[in-house]
């Protein structure tokens, strides 16, 4: 087994940051801006993804809740029925995740708009979308590609939230009142 040191880990971290930065430069910022326009007009927003993309979706959902928007995670016991006027935001690097694609198809059949965040605009999941927002992560190593996609997606969605909170004139006090306090 090779001997690793802190410089090896630091170099791996810098490599990831460089890859994330390159993806962020090419991200579909116009698509994120469209999503920022859609969210306040939606009756409700549902967020989903599998694995780490699912964690990014939940994190984004938490931000939307902080903004005072009605947001839910499919599969949770308190999630209402989806329908016309709703949006499903689905996140998948490859766009081939079966569970995420199933939810996108189901939401669309129920009349909800489907917005997909993916690295592959031609994936099966993208074909089921009303709006595709591309986060162009590429790498031969699927683990590296997924990590870069998930980090970039999280940063892009936080940037979208910053724009959205400014548009909604979200003041720090209203944010704090909605922040979790049973911690």
Task: Give the C-alpha separation, 118 to 127, whole Å.
Answer: 11
Task: Give the C-alpha separation, 45 to 71, whole Å.
Answer: 5
Task: Give the C-alpha separation, 56 to 62, whole Å.
Answer: 10
Nearest CA among 52, 20, 18, 56 for reference residue 160? 56
Which one is catalytic: 76, 140, 150, 183? 150
Scored b (16 or more CB within 10 A) or e, 156-173 reads bbebbbeebbeeeebeee
Q: Is 183 a catalytic residue?
A: no
Task: Give the C-alpha separation, 179 to 82, whole Å.
Answer: 25
Annotated catalytic residues are 150
């Amino acid at each position: 087994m090779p001997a690793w040191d802190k410089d090896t880990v630091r170099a791996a971290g810098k490599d990831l940051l460089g890859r994330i930065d390159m993806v962020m430069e090419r991200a579909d910022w116009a698509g994120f801006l469209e999503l920022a326009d859609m969210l306040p007009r939606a009756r409700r927003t549902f967020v989903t993804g599998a694995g780490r993309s699912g964690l990014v979706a939940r994190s984004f959902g938490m931000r939307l809740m902080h903004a005072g928007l009605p947001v839910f995670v499919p599969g949770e016991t308190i999630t209402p029925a989806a329908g016309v006027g709703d949006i499903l935001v689905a996140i998948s690097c490859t766009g081939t995740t079966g569970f995420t694609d199933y939810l996108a198809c189901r939401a669309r059949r129920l009349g909800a708009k489907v917005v997909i965040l993916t690295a592959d605009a031609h994936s099966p999941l993208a074909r089921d979308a009303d709006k595709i927002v591309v986060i162009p992560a590429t790498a031969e190593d699927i683990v590296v590609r997924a990590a870069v996609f998930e980090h970039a997606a999280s940063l892009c969605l936080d940037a979208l939230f910053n724009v959205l909170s400014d548009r909604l004139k979200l003041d720090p006090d209203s944010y704090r009142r909605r922040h979790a306090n049973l911690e």
